[in-house]
Structure 1
């Protein structure tokens, strides 16, 4: 699996949580998929363009995943974008077999999620709900392109989220610590 994309979800302004009164239950989390759609889809069959055939090719598959989220104008609605880039190269000669790029979007109505938990909720739980649809699209497109259908492995969106947080923290630390001082190991 690959890298967590460059989407940071910074546009996702969370709602203010409702504070429960003493003795009351915290608000129930409500999530509804309002809509979902393919924003962009591209499949480049490089092997076919060169006049090659899929038989005898030993594909090496690389998958990159990017995530982004933003608040919509409608109250409690958020847009979550999952970006998948799937590249396949022939193991024997390293030449491109195919390139698939997919942006799949879900619009969610979310209520009852505390403000400090909204960002991870949008970039972990929402993509998790969209993933089966992404998997199906990738499988159908690769099959229709003349290859064995590619069934993507499950994506650990929590691990991707944590990797992105660590990457951002390292960038921030690098920007702050760029004064030439060395730290003991």
Structure 2
């Protein structure tokens, strides 16, 4: 067998695998809230040492159109003063991407939607959070990159633990 024949045989398996096609059709803020607690309570001075807590949750829903999905990333960010535990600000952002996803096997679709799709829209959500904190009178908050794979695995573990704690009753 020649090298070309061997290479072509190797490519045959790749050609049989379905080609994954993913496109962002739209993205939008479903909900945005910024509460500047520090300004409301007239907190100021050099004693402010922020401690920032970030919570991220994900959701994916099938749309009526074929192969289209809404993927929502929900951020809840609380900044508290380390010295007295007073809340400085609270940001809540629900950011949604509308995706066209083709060629992903059904058993891999759920992780694909909750890992790959959020990765694609995360930079846009990060910019919104940065802008809103800056416009709210604080230094811009530039979120670290979120590990959506680890987040997905944690959610699977949480669901498994909840199911083990509350097993479904067995019918008679």
TM-score by length of 2: 0.87
**Contact 2:47–2:83 (Cα < 8 Å) also in 1:** no
Higher Cα Rg: structure 1 or 2?
2
Distance 1:55 1:86 in 2: 22
The aligned counterpart of 1:33 is: 24
1:118 aligns with 2:109: yes
1:145 aligns with 2:136: yes
RMSD of equivalent CA atoms: 1.8
Distance 1:149 1:125 in 2: 26
Which blocks of at least 5 consecutive residues in structure 1 are unaligned? Answer: 1-21, 179-185
Q: CA deviation at 1:131?
A: 0.5
Classify the secondary structure of the residue corresponding to 1:109: strand
Larger RCO of the pair (alpha carbons < 8 Å, separation 6+)? 1
**Contact 1:123–1:161 (Cα < 8 Å) also in 2:** yes
Number of matched residues? Answer: 157
TM-score by length of 1: 0.81
Cα distance change, pair 177–68 in 1 and its aligned pair in 2 (3 A): closer
Classify the secondary structure of the residue corresponding to 1:139: helix
User: Whose helix fraction is larger, Structure 1's or Structure 2's?
Assistant: 2
